[in-house]
Structure 1
């Protein structure tokens, strides 16, 4: 999965417009970043990267870039 594909998956998951997310997007600026989105993000990373995101690490995430880093993959 590329960075663009991951961002597109996040946009779909968060029900935001295509191309609206960037690594600098603050999570607290997204109305749809809620507990359901957190669970969906964890499932997305597990499914596509076979990586388990620790709750403590996810709680520290402030931006989409932080979420990208939590995938455990080098997304180009």
Structure 2
């Protein structure tokens, strides 16, 4: 029993290497810098994953700690309504 196959052409998506913003700038991640941290929050106030923000694993961990610290102090809201 034969199954239908596509025309055999495969399209490969070329992925370019994404550079981490924090590795390029070489600056520390500060929990008091609300404008910078706000870029890594979704519309609902959740932390955006690193595959979307193109941040390396090391800085993603530091970023999540800084966001959580800013939330505890009251600089960032837990949820955006």
TM-score (norm 1): 0.30
More helix by share: 1
TM-score by length of 2: 0.29
